Amino acid sequence: MKDDKLYLIHVQECIQRIEKYTLGGKMEFMQQDLIQDAVIRNLQVLAESSQRISDERKLNHPEVDWLALSGFRNILVHDYLGVDLEMVWNIIDNDLPSLKYSLLKMLDENN
């Protein structure tokens, strides 16, 4: 669990970047390839880092759907031509805020 802090910080940084890149809202996200690419890349890194978090910590935080996060990473990495931007936006809008909250709790546990 000691190494978890590094991965938790990495996930936090990805969330912060995604928030920054999507400040312009859904319409801008849907119209700007550069923003889409940056967001999708950070979602990939976020999901990859989350896979490296210890099983013990994951068991202590069942509010995070770790399996769905891992599955989404596989879609982004292996099916990049078929990425559904509407689904990506829904994740940004609906799932990232709760992940961010859970992540902050996990980081507090490390201090």
Residues with catalytic function? 73, 78
CA pair distance 108, 111, nearest whole angstrom: 5
Q: Which helix (H) or strand (E) holds 100?
A: helix 96-110
Cα-atom radius of gyration of the chain, to the nearest Å? 14
SS3 32: coil
Q: Are 75 and 83 in contact (CB under 8 A)?
A: yes
